[in-house]
Chains A and B, each alone.
Chain A
Amino acid sequence: MSAIQILFWFLSGLALVSAIMVLISKNPVHSVLWLVMVFFAISGHYILMNAQFLAIVNLIVYAGAIMVLFLFVIMLMNLDKTSDPQKNWWMKLAGVISGGCLLMEMATLVRQAAEMKEKTVMMKEGSIGLIGNLGKLLFSDYVVPFEISSVLFLSAMVGAVVIGKKN
């Protein structure tokens, strides 16, 4: 096993364990910290796939900005006490069954797919994730969605002001 493969398996395991810990931690603050761990592991994967820009953006935006926001909300709302309302037992069962069905279906389908056989992931290949190429693509082929997405951000900003400002 080469160093890259070892890294890949280590990061995958880390991501999976952290993701499970996000779900089963009783304390919401711990959950958020585990989520940060997941983002770090995924950023590691991006670097393995030669997508440095994506890795850095993922760290800055998700692990940085969004997670800090999560922590603020949790602390402001004082959710760190374990006070989960008791759900109906039947509701839980129904949720587990329907979610489990979807998971099983997707897992079987993806396992059977021809592309997935005997392959893990392409590593250290391709240069599409490099910032220069990404920038060129964004300003040539994908310039229309790039510009139109500004309307999306503008409306989100207007909305934040409308909701946040005092009447």
Chain B
Amino acid sequence: MNAIIFSALAGVVMMFSGIFTKNTSIITNVARVALAVLIAVNLLDTYGGWMIAVDTKNLLSFNKFGFFFNTILFVATFLFFVLSGRDIEKVGSYTAEYYALIFFSLCGIAVLTSFNNLLMMFLGVEIMSIPLYILTGADKKNLKSNEASLKYFLMGSFSTGIMLMGITLVYGATGNFNLPPISSAVTGAVVSDSIIGPLGLLLIFVSLCFKVSAAPFHFWTPDVYDGAPSVFTSFMATIIKAAGFFAFIKLFEERSSDLRVSWKIIMPVIIIATLLAGNITAVFQQSVKRMLAYSSIAQAGFMLFVVYANNNSIGKEGILLYAAAYSLATIGIFAILIRMKDYTFNGYNGLAKKEPFIAAVNTILLLSLAGIPLTAGFFAKYYMLAAAINAGGKSVLWLVVIAVLFAAVSVYYYFRVIQAMYFKEGDAEVENVNNRFKFGLLIIAALIISIGILPSVLLNWFYF
């Protein structure tokens, strides 16, 4: 509850900070401090230190998994603010409002990590996404940004409509919005073996697939990620997507048995379609930004494994690890991309000669996304596949093999960037590289490698 209340308050504080000062670097620093306090408050909540007593009437349920997920996402956002704060200031003339919207989005995430009721899930998803529609269109003079914003808004509204229809049908079948289904004996008149409930759950499933850009509901992703200002793409592709997965897991670990369509049929289809759509299309991209958009679809395909293997502890550990590894690496790569003059692969030509440190960090992050051992990405992918095997045994081996093959495909397009940086001649231009930026990159690279060597450190912390 602390995180929900405080992130909303921080958003209001950010709005007011725009009145008192026009100096954008002060506003950025206020945002960083507010986020640091938010992390601290959330940590206090995790260990029961300080909590505003709110009787949530069982609409929200807080547990360690959710708190820990909050912490990971907030820390990733903090690093995002540290690395890309300068670039948020440059998007437009409403810096304070952009930060306020990001804090509201974090409030939605905090709701999504603790919902215990479909009503709260709906509110959380909406609070998380509405600020994004605006952030996507923040670059008002850029036609592509406008188009992306409108497209995102329209598609998002449709998916919200589908989700509401689903929630309505579930309510019609069970008579309440609670997440753990109440047995029909309690509710009396309600028939438990109704077909309406599964139909509703299927509609919610579709709309959540849209939110995490799983195929075949991924068509908005490349256009929106490409059109949005790069800083906000970085935020959307990482933190928001991970939170969407959390909602997905939380809902379907309780309800997947109610969805009478066999879970073991529907999930592999979605997983393979997502991996295929993301990886194969990413191979053909010329722009690194667009390649990262498709790569985010491909990574979503891996994260879907945890939804497939729902309700098992390896999966839960895995999604924590995956959220951390994927968010950190992508935030770092985007932070570098934003400062490149040319967003195409050729724009990276010869970066290693000019900025050896940045090229080295970029290489580590790309290796992590590709899932090479000794980086966090390897263990993240390992845990995902282990969770699937743990849930399905030998019968899912084929699915795991396909996933590994697609991971090998992904190596191709990640290594194209590395190849351009190290083995091609050219004069890549990076703007505004200062020591603080390099220090932030160093922290991210260090985190990626240390999680890659000792994933148990992060996971053990989860249990204490």
Question: Would you call B15 and A113 a contact (CB within 8 A)?
Answer: no
Give the interface size bracket for A toward B. Answer: 20 to 34
CA distance A155 to B11 in the complex (A): 9
Q: Digit string of B184-202 for contact with A (CB within 8 Å is 1, else 0)? A: 0000001101111001000
Chain B residue at minimal CB-CB distance from A105: B199
Question: Would you call B123 and A155 a contact (CB within 8 A)?
Answer: no
Known: A115-B191, A167-B141. A148 touches B111 (CB 8 A): yes
Question: Would you call A109 and B196 a contact (CB within 8 A)?
Answer: yes
Interface residues of A in 62-93 (CB under 8 A from B): none
CA distance A140 to B93 in the complex (A): 42
Say whether B305 faces chain A, with CB atoms less than 8 Å apart: no
Say whether A94 faces chain B, with CB atoms less than 8 Å apart: no
Stretch in A8-16, A17-25, A28-36, A156-164 with 4+ CB within 8 Å of B:
A156-164
Known: A115-B172, A154-B104. A159 touches B196 (CB 8 A): no
Could you say which residues of chain A place their CB within 8 Å of the CB of B193? 114
CA distance A145 to B126 in the complex (A): 12
Of the candidates A106, A155, A167, which one forms a contact with B92 in the assembled complex, judged by CB atoms under 8 Å apart? A167
Question: Would you call B107 and A144 a contact (CB within 8 A)?
Answer: no
Question: Would you call A152 and B123 a contact (CB within 8 A)?
Answer: yes
Give the interface size bracket for B toward A. Answer: 35 or more
Known: A113-B196, A151-B8. A163 touches B134 (CB 8 A): yes
Question: Would you call B131 and A114 a contact (CB within 8 A)?
Answer: no
Of the candidates B120, B173, B190, B199, which one forms a contact with A145 in the assembled complex, judged by CB atoms under 8 Å apart? B120
Say whether B101 faces chain A, with CB atoms less than 8 Å apart: yes
Stretch in B44-52, B53-61, B238-246, B413-421 with 4+ CB within 8 Å of A:
B53-61
Say whether A110 faces chain B, with CB atoms less than 8 Å apart: yes
Given contacts A110-B195, A115-B194, A159-B130, 7 further A-B contacts (CB under 8 A): A114-B191, A141-B57, A142-B119, A155-B101, A158-B131, A162-B92, A162-B98
Residues of B at the A interface (CB closer than 8 Å) are 4, 8, 11-12, 15, 54, 56-57, 59-60, 92-94, 97-98, 100-101, 104-105, 107-108, 111, 119-120, 123, 126-127, 130-131, 133-134, 137-138, 140-141, 172-173, 190-191, 193-196, 199
